């Protein structure tokens, strides 16, 4: 897969309808409920696209923000809080968040920035015609993507290193992605060590198990549990244990991880804004086809590499979309 190829027409395509006529009531303020399981993502990019199409925060839209900060058990309560505000559309991040919202607001439109295997896990009927009240950006990540994560991490590790896979045992998505990672590891000849956790309280023990298994690095499977404040905790434990980390989103690298390879978050939020605009103009989410991004970015943290005593090959640095000094 060419990480630099990108269907850059998502926002443009969704908003291709004439912009001259806005079916808005005079003085109407649209309320958007934003719920995330961890960090606040790229809301600035989201607001920028809304503004380009006449939806200005403080003028004709209001954005209500709630974050579980990595504590997924809080999602139900936060979703209920937002539902009680009578929002017009929800902006959410991943599956767990969408499910929490759908349980309390089954008819309110939901736009996702990262719907994980949405058809296979029953969130929507199909990508082309989702049905129901959910649409947005779909991540259908097979062995080829996780194989790339493993391949990139192995490039910086000495010898035929063992690589661990850090996953959440309570996540159905993580179960699917662990299977894909194991399949990719078999094809690459990587000795994979699955390490499952249920909460941040399990992290320290998990790194002890990685060391016992003689792993020299690990890949993080995407899950709210590992992001937000918990990203820094995972990376601190990794440095203390001398383990190199590969993240699925650059937020993990911004929090001190070694590398990330995944969908650019800002692109996802820009695209999500395009869906929200269409819905505010009267479109039904079930009629809006879900889009799959094809651009993936590689980010490398040289400060972390130095702390781990690792030398990043020049060939890998040249391939990176961003290098953090």
pLDDT above 90 (res 63): yes
DSSP line for 93-115: -SHHHHHHHHHH-TTS-EEEEEE
What pLDDT digit, counting tens, does each position of 92-137 carry?
999 999 999 999 999 999 999 999 889 988 999 999 999 999 999 9
CATH of 10-140+265-287, one of 3.40.50.2300, 1.10.3720.10, 1.10.10.10, 3.40.640.10: 3.40.50.2300
How does residue 147 score in pLDDT terms, banded at 50, 70 and 90?
confident
Same fold, 10-140+265-287 and 143-262+297-324: yes
- Assess whether pLDDT exceeds 60 at residue 10: no
Domain range list for the chain: 10-140+265-287, 143-262+297-324
Share of the chain above pLDDT 90, in %: 69
Q: Which of 3.40.470.10, 3.30.565.10, 3.40.50.2300, 3.40.1440.10 is the CATH number of 143-262+297-324? A: 3.40.50.2300
Q: Average pLDDT of the chain?
A: 89
Distance CA(209)–CA(201), nearest Å, equals: 14
Q: For residue 177, what pLDDT is reported?
A: 85
The pLDDT of residue 3 is: 39
Tell me the residue ranges of DSSP E strands in the chain.
30-36, 61-67, 89-92, 110-116, 134-139, 162-168, 191-197, 215-220, 244-247, 259-262, 297-301, 322-324
**pLDDT tens per residue across span 28-51:** 899 999 999 887 789 999 999 999
């Amino acid at each position: 897969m060419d990480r630099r190829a990108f269907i850059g027409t998502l926002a443009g395509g969704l908003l291709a309808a004439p912009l001259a006529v806005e079916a808005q009531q005079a003085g109407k303020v649209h309320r958007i409920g934003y719920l995330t399981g961890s960090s606040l993502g790229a809301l600035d990019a989201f607001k920028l696209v809304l503004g380009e199409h006449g939806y200005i925060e403080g003028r004709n839209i209001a954005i209500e923000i709630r974050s579980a900060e990595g504590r997924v058990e809080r999602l139900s309560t936060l979703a209920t809080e937002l539902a009680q505000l009578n929002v017009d559309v929800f902006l959410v991040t991943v599956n767990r968040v969408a499910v929490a919202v759908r349980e309390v607001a089954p008819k309110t439109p939901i736009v996702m920035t990262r719907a994980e295997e949405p058809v296979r896990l029953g969130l929507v009927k199909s990508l082309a015609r989702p049905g129901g009240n959910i649409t947005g950006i779909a991540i259908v990540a097979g062995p080829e993507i996780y194989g790339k994560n493993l391949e990139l991490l192995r490039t910086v590790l000495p010898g035929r290193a063992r690589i661990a896979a850090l996953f959440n045992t309570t996540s159905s998505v993580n179960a699917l992605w662990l299977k894909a990672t194991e399949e990719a590891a078999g094809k690459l000849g990587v000795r994979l060590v699955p390490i499952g956790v249920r909460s941040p309280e399990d992290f320290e023990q998990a790194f002890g198990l990685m060391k016992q298994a003689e792993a020299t690095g690990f890949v993080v499977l995407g899950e709210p549990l590992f992001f937000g404040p918990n990203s820094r905790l995972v990376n601190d434990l990794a440095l203390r244990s001398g383990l190199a980390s590969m993240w699925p989103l650059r937020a993990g690298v911004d929090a001190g991880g070694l590398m990330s390879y995944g969908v650019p978050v800002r692109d996802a939020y820009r695209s999500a804004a395009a869906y929200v605009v269409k819905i505010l103009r009267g479109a039904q989410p079930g009629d809006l086809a879900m889009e799959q991004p094809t651009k993936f970015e590689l980010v490398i943290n040289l400060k972390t590499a130095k702390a781990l005593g690792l030398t990043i090959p020049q060939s890998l640095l040249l391939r990176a979309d961003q290098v953090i000094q």
